[in-house]
Chains A and B, each alone.
Chain A
């Protein structure tokens, strides 16, 4: 437990220090309220629309499809590196894996997930 004591002290000091600065600035700082202060970015560009816009649900479909094929690549890389070592067994194993994914892709295609009307 002894070796954790410095960490505890650091934690207490840093919390006290940051809290102290916040409290001091609330007490001592000048308070001038104007319109610019209440906008989202006081020093940024003027806002032109709300951030809470609805995003088309099709983005999610694309994202899910992307995820699947991204993972496939993640599997293919180590497989390709070890291709000679794995031999025929590894080749057939990967074929089955890709076959299953292709069935999924055909389904997604047929269901219209790739069309953007």
Chain B
């Protein structure tokens, strides 16, 4: 159902709430003299929660194309909107808890956070290449600013500058790819483009377009070889921002990647299967990208000495795992990606929260400074164990279930080499995740005084650790929701 501009407004309320919150925070900055007021943080929490709840409610009413087919509301976009809102909420709580952010001027920080959330909402739901580009930039530009938020620190600025240069180049290449598709189809709507690609018999142009668009989306999900920016950005940015960037924009990137490729370069062949169209074998390209991404991410993570940098490479590796599900062209693969994103949201954010708490206590992110944390902050260290073992994919934690679905999908499709590469990579990853835990629990502490963790952080730790445990033993509802959401791709 295609709605016009006035009809659309009623279904656009979540985005309007976020826009309104951005304006209010800016105006608050202008009128308020209190530079460290927590008001912007609380407004962000309220606005994002409200947007999430309303978006969840609107998603149940069937598929709708808003603004003459710019933005689509369906179960797929709703699923992502909820994940992305949770990522923002966690990031906000972490920002309140972190000493890196709490002492500084807050208003702009939350304006950027809210703008990124708005951009991610649009990215997850846009079905028009102009809208995709606009949403991608709305996510990217505030991300550059947040990456350089600690502007007195050299590595923060370095990360931000690299991010800008890479981001601008990636967008440029991607737009070129879009323009080829526009030339082929004469339309900016991805459903129309999909029809034109189906009819076209010009693999050279289509391969070019796939390659160029893969650059733009690959940059957003930090897939190798478009990942160079991410370790520097993740290391230089304030840790709450790092946690946010490694989950939120990455999930939004996967949303648009899946929607775009399944709508444009694939056609439905059954209730739960697709086939590639236009003579383009993009699945093989992404399967190879997936293998390279996880291998590079894991191998480079092994030699890292800074925990933030280590987690940056590990998040590159996880993008590689998730790409495995993306290339399968069936519902099994898609639901595995969506489920893994949920699991990844909790375990990865949790690991970064522990990094913040340790940094608050010892003022460092080096692995060697984690020595004896098992004695000084026992509860937090146990939580870190849960998050890291979940990231490795060890039963009974949720990461294991996520990986089981991904591996099962790949093996059922018969791509055995990819499953073997992923299995070897999981073994690699155990080494560097376990090394952090070894330092925390087995090495003697530098000082033995216990560190108090504030109540807010303890509550947030529990909120993140509980689903990581629960989804490892009882995951049925989430995988069902993921499957239902994935079915809605391409007019299901």
Contacts and interface: CB of A to CB of B under 8 A. Distances in A.
Contact of A106 (B6, B19, B30): B30
A110 to B, nearest CB: 5
B29 A110 contact: yes
B6 A110 contact: no
Contacts of B6: 89
Interface in A92-110: 100, 103-104, 106-107, 110
A107 B19 CA distance: 16
Interface in A2-32: none
Contacts of A107: 26, 29-30
State which size class the interface on A falls in. under 10
B463 interface: no
State which size class the interface on B falls in. under 10
A3 to B, nearest CB: 17
A80 B29 CA distance: 33
Contacts of A89: 6
Contacts of A104: 26
B434 interface: no
A103 B23 contact: yes
Contacts of A110: 29-30
A76 B138 CA distance: 22
Nearest to B27: A103
A89 B6 CA distance: 9
Contacts of A106: 26-27, 30
A103 B6 CA distance: 24
A52 to B, nearest CB: 19
Contacts of A103: 23, 26-27
A2 B422 CA distance: 49
Interface string A75-94: 00000000000000100000
15 contacts: A89-B6, A100-B19, A100-B23, A103-B23, A103-B26, A103-B27, A104-B26, A106-B26, A106-B27, A106-B30, A107-B26, A107-B29, A107-B30, A110-B29, A110-B30
Interface of A: 89, 100, 103-104, 106-107, 110
The 3 closest A-B pairs by CB, nearest first: A110-B30, A107-B26, A103-B23
Given A106-B27, A110-B29, 13 more contacts: A89-B6, A100-B19, A100-B23, A103-B23, A103-B26, A103-B27, A104-B26, A106-B26, A106-B30, A107-B26, A107-B29, A107-B30, A110-B30
